[in-house]
A and B are shown apart, each in its own frame.
Chain A
Amino acid sequence: MKPNDVVLQTITTVAAFIIVLFSIQLFFAGHYNPGGGFIGGLLTSGAIVLLLLAFDIKTVSTIFPFDYKIMTAIGLLLSVGTGAGALLFDVPFLTHAYEYFHLPLLGEQSLHTAVIFDTGVYLVVIGITMTIIQTIGESE
């Protein structure tokens, strides 16, 4: 008889949402508080792994229809691109820039190119973790 996972699946739908929110919070906190791209990415992939445990690989790949290898490449491109952007202004590689902006709702905030670099790290971490888990999970 096929076991009924209704409790696990119901809790997962709620919990995965909270975990993703927490990971995004950690990701954006990185500049002033503990956190950043690495732990944020790891936690997001943690949420996806929880979904994988509760459902199966096929269902999860319809929820997140990404090719994680492509995601890794795009993440790398973002990080390296942020560094290489410095070449356009003829300053040393990886020189970052920031500016204060008045944003609607959020008020006075500083926007820093390091966030783009971190987004790259975030995507690479998710891409790599999910590639590893999916590849091992799918191999017989």
Chain B
Amino acid sequence: MTNLLLLPILIPLLTAIALMLLHKRIEMQRIVSVLSLIGTVIATSILLAKVKTDGIQTLNLGSWEAPYGITLVSDMLSVLLVLTATVITLFVIMFSFHSIGRDRETFYYYPIVQFLLVGINGAFTTGDIFNLFVFFEVMLMSSYVLLVLGGTKIQLRESIKYILVNIISSALFVIAVGFLYSVVGTLNMAQISERIAESNQPGIITVIAMLFLVVFGLKGAIFPLYFWLPGSYYAPPAPILALFGALLTKVGVYSILRTYSLFFYHETGFTHSVLMILSLLTIIVGVIGAIAYWDLKKIIIYNVIVAVGVILFGVSVNSSTSIEGSIFYVLHDMVIKAALFLLIGIMIKITGTSNLKQMRGLIKQFPLLAWTFFIAALSLAGIPPLSGFIGKLLIVQGGFEEGNYIGAGIILLSSLLVLYSVMKIFMNGFFGKPTEYKADHIPVGKLLIPSIALVTVAVLYGFNAELIYPYISDATETIVNPDMYIEAVLRGE
């Protein structure tokens, strides 16, 4: 079927429209969203198998030939990211059933989550730089609504900041695309890459590369453009926070990875060293934030920033080992961040506070929650059999191979501090003198099921690294050989 690679975008889009039509019938909305997400996961898995056997899949929308129409491109990296994003959304939606509340549910919560997924899947799949912008906007506008939905005071305040920052970065994105278009005269990503290679990346292209770094850095929260993230992510309730923390910044990271490996790989001396310095500073800022706070949400939010730094360090080293590591790590991080946000969401629901100093002894009443959190925490830090390990190992190995001892050292040290920050939650929140929490009205068990499912996905990901490795290595191959991508898009091979 020609349109297979469109299905991860089309199914959520049609679902969102259907959910708009039945916005008063909450039960129907829940059933339809879950069924459609399961359908999307199945379609994406079929696509994954197809990409594995037949190589990169392309689709020229409207039957217009490659550089003239919009091309959707599914290489292994994008299809893996789409699959991960859809699986996470599925579990987060199931978590929302018992936590988001009827008010939000009647006010178009489910359709907007579907629109968010449309934007994310589209951004991962598109092969056209302006279409990437459009999908960014689809994603961002849905995130504005999700952020403000409910209308509490803190949400209103943080939404203003978030919207302001993102409007500025979107304007910069348009300007950057305008500059790039005026230099190369095309918007198709494969053809842009070809034309930059023909002109051997003159100085102006390097300037545009920096502009793109600013744009995607604002979306993906790298140092010093991360300033909006801790406040904005603090405002929404747990399931929305899980979607944001797991998916939104990763789209920025993916865009940096894509543009820096497909467009700007000729003069890596300047661009990639800037990226490296910024990513290391991002890690440092992230771990400082993660160990400084005594607030559950803040700790995990700063861990999002650390992860962005780690992934981008792998991108900036730009060897096939480190790119492999980055891809391993980004998939792991999406899953585990979603799981952690859901778990602390449950903790906050039980204790009624996100202040770590005001909770203790949760393990007596909620042992399952405690040990799930413990596994998730170890997995986040990268303890060997678990999922965070291989990615970080490959990134560090890539760093050492290229002689970048400082960078690799910072990453190793950051793991320790990340572990400290989440263990701080575990030791203070779960251990200590037991307190009786009145949790009768909170469906802890029902909330735990999707969270445990996500942690299970992460654990299986870690244990089955050997099975997953061929997929990651395929993804890396198209990243380090941009010619494969260009051939597939422009010449249909």
Interface residues of A (CB under 8 A from B): 69-70, 72-74, 76-77, 80, 84, 86-87, 90-96
A93–B6 touching, CB < 8 Å: yes
A87–B13 touching, CB < 8 Å: no
Q: 1/0 per position for B1-32, CB-CB distance to A under 8 A? A: 11100100010011001001101000000000
A84–B10 touching, CB < 8 Å: yes
* CA–CA, A94 and B61, complex, Å: 6
Cβ of B269 under 8 Å from chain A: no
| Given A80-B17, A92-B3, A93-B62, 13 extra CB contacts under 8 A | A69-B20, A69-B23, A80-B14, A84-B14, A87-B3, A90-B2, A90-B3, A92-B2, A92-B61, A92-B63, A93-B10, A94-B62, A95-B62
Given contacts A84-B10, A86-B3, A87-B3, contact A92 B59 (CB under 8 A): yes
Minimum CB–CB distance for B345 against chain A, Å: 30
A91–B14 touching, CB < 8 Å: no
A80–B63 touching, CB < 8 Å: no
Minimum CB–CB distance for B139 against chain A, Å: 17
Neighbouring A residues of B372 by C-beta, 8 Å: none
Given contacts A92-B63, A93-B10, A94-B62, contact A73 B17 (CB under 8 A): yes
Neighbouring B residues of A95 by C-beta, 8 Å: 62-63
Chain B interface residue count, CB cutoff 8 Å, equals 16
Neighbouring A residues of B10 by C-beta, 8 Å: 80, 84, 93
A80–B13 touching, CB < 8 Å: yes
* CA–CA, A84 and B17, complex, Å: 13
Neighbouring B residues of A96 by C-beta, 8 Å: 62
A93–B20 touching, CB < 8 Å: no
B1–A92 touching, CB < 8 Å: no
Nearest CB in chain B to that of A78: its residue: B17
* CA–CA, A35 and B110, complex, Å: 35
B21–A93 touching, CB < 8 Å: no
* CA–CA, A90 and B63, complex, Å: 11
* CA–CA, A17 and B13, complex, Å: 35
Neighbouring B residues of A76 by C-beta, 8 Å: 17, 20
B14–A93 touching, CB < 8 Å: no
Q: Of residues 38 to 93 in B, which have CB atoms within 8 Å of A's CB atoms?
A: 59-63
* CA–CA, A87 and B43, complex, Å: 15
B21–A70 touching, CB < 8 Å: yes
* CA–CA, A79 and B10, complex, Å: 12
Minimum CB–CB distance for B115 against chain A, Å: 10
* CA–CA, A3 and B17, complex, Å: 44
Minimum CB–CB distance for B131 against chain A, Å: 12
Nearest CB in chain B to that of A114: its residue: B62
Q: Which of A69, A72, A77, A91 is B2 in contact with, Cβ under 8 Å?
A: A91
